[in-house]
Amino acid sequence: MKIIEGHKEIDVPAGVPVWDVDPYDPAVLVDPSDYYSELRSKGPFAYIPRYSILACGRYEETKEVFSDWERFVSSRGVGLQDFSLGEPWRPPSIVLEVDPPDHTKARAVIERALSPGAIRKLMESYREDAENLIGELLEKGTFEAVEELAETYPTTVFPDAVGLGESDRRRLVDYGEMVFNALGPDNELRRNAMAKGPNVVPWILEQCKRERLEPEGFGATIYAACDTGEITEEEAGLLVRSLLSAGVDTTVAVLGSAIWCLANNPDQFQKLKADPKLARWAFEETLRYTSPVHTFCRTANLDTEVSGVKIAEGTKIICVLGAANLDEDHWPQADKFDIERKPSDHLALGVGIHGCVGQNVARAEADAVLTAIANKVESIELAGEPVWRPNNSVHTLDRLTITFKSK
């Protein structure tokens, strides 16, 4: 058996085209639209020889593979490495990198911590923080929207909501960068992110300890579940680690992308201003249009078949969420950003039992920021060429210079 990127090499399934592309080439990662449409044009699956994986990017098959946890498991890792063949770089997440029945217990605890009721309590201060930040940026006029808005807002409100107290924004963003780049191949992006480990990982693990957490917050709710015997203290620590893994870079990406979408589509921004209640749908359409998590994998846990394609046990399938969310066969005028589309069935947050458990938190952050912008800002303009930051799993901006104008 030959191993490639930590998983079994597979034969090309009958009828599947071989496509010599590198989905993790930085040039593809920063500008993926041609890769997305070519992938969809290949059929339900393409075989990528460089990594010996299948890729899917049509809406139907991506949804099928992504949601069928019995055939396409997460416990063997949601990146290119198959955890059944070797140790991952960190102990697996007990909510992401796991299947039922173990998944169910951890999911219930984290769902409780991030429940609509818990988030409702935060909403007022989220709105106040967003209004203050947008007010400051309006006074500046021109600003760097990745650093000063997309990174600043979540790294201010999220650590507070978790209960971390004083926090280190850089380390939070860098840890997310490690976690998400780690899902890709052993390329330069992954190696550069991993090199930050010694400065970041011990600090993150320290933040996950019970005694470090404020008595109120998502973290405290998680630890309360070990007093009732539902989970162990060690598991509680790992669930707090999940919050810090998944909650920062994702929301940074979506906020930056939302500003980018609105700056590029002034008609849509005017619609939002006319009806700020559309903020919620501007967020969903940004998710569909930009897919902040562009790719996650699954592993076939048995010989099976999808859309007539025979898939062998041990096959790694990259589910290209970014491609599925732009599939013309599912989305009329898929390449148009339209905040009145109301795309409730996009795949940007996943689907099924592993669907994003933090989506209410992300929605609250985006709603607060986009509502404040709709109410206070007259126009949003690009004041420089946007630059994207390549990442093996996250589609995110590196630089976005913006001018906000007031009346």
CB of 79 to ligand OVM, least distance (A): 8
Which range touches ligand OVM (CB under 6 A), out of 238-246, 267-275, 338-346, 371-379? Answer: 238-246
| Per-position x/- string for 85-114, each x denoting binding to ligand OVM as judged by CB under 6 A, each - no binding | --------x-xx------------------
Question: Number of residues in contact with ligand OVM, rule: CB under 6 A?
Answer: 8
Tokens 């063997």, residue?
Answer: 76
Report if residue 207 touches ligand OVM, rule: CB under 6 A.
no
Report if residue 189 touches ligand OVM, rule: CB under 6 A.
no
Please identify, using beta-carbon distances, which residue of 242 and 286 lies nearer to ligand OVM.
242
Which range touches ligand OVM (CB under 6 A), out of 218-226, 240-248, 297-305, 365-373? Answer: 240-248
DSSP 32: -
CB of 112 to ligand OVM, least distance (A): 16
CB of 275 to ligand OVM, least distance (A): 32
CB of 173 to ligand OVM, least distance (A): 13
CB of 63 to ligand OVM, least distance (A): 18
CB of 293 to ligand OVM, least distance (A): 8
Dihedrals phi, psi of 298, to nearest 5 degrees: -130, 165
Name the burial class of residue 31, with classes exposed (0-12), middle (13-18) and buried (19+) by CB atoms within 10 angstroms of its CB: exposed
DSSP 18: B
Report if residue 75 touches ligand OVM, rule: CB under 6 A.
no
Tokens of 63: 């949804």
Residue of 179, 240, 279, 374 interacting with ligand OVM (CB under 6 A)? 179
Please choose, from the candidates 23, 29, 77, the residue with its C-alpha nearest in 3D space to the C-alpha of residue 50.
Answer: 23
Residue of 164, 178, 193, 246 interacting with ligand OVM (CB under 6 A)? 246
Please choose, from the candidates 54, 53, 36, the residue with its C-alpha nearest in 3D space to the C-alpha of residue 45.
Answer: 54
Chain mean position to CA 202: 23
Report if residue 371 touches ligand OVM, rule: CB under 6 A.
no
Please identify, using beta-carbon distances, which residue of 106 and 157 lies nearer to ligand OVM.
106
Give alpha helix (H) positions in 49-101: 59-67
Is the bond leading into 32 cis (omega within 30 degrees of zero)? Answer: no
CB of 377 to ligand OVM, least distance (A): 31
CB of 6 to ligand OVM, least distance (A): 16
Dist CA 65 CA 265 (whole Å): 33
Please choose, from the candidates 301, 280, 282, the residue with its C-alpha nearest in 3D space to the C-alpha of residue 77.
Answer: 301
Dist CA 154 CA 173 (whole Å): 10
Q: Count the alpha carbons within 13 Å of 354 in the hemisphere toward its beta carbon.
A: 32
Dist CA 98 CA 106 (whole Å): 10
| Per-position x/- string for 275-314, each x denoting binding to ligand OVM as judged by CB under 6 A, each - no binding | ----------------------------------------
Please identify, using beta-carbon distances, which residue of 125 and 192 lies nearer to ligand OVM.
192
Question: Could you tell me how many residues make up the chain?
Answer: 407
Dihedrals phi, psi of 318, to nearest 5 degrees: -85, 120
CB of 98 to ligand OVM, least distance (A): 9
Report if residue 245 touches ligand OVM, rule: CB under 6 A.
yes
Tokens 């498991």, residue?
Answer: 73
| Type of residue found at 157 | V
Please identify, using beta-carbon distances, which residue of 217 and 358 lies nearer to ligand OVM.
358
Binding positions for ligand OVM, rule: CB under 6 A: 93, 95-96, 179-180, 242, 245-246
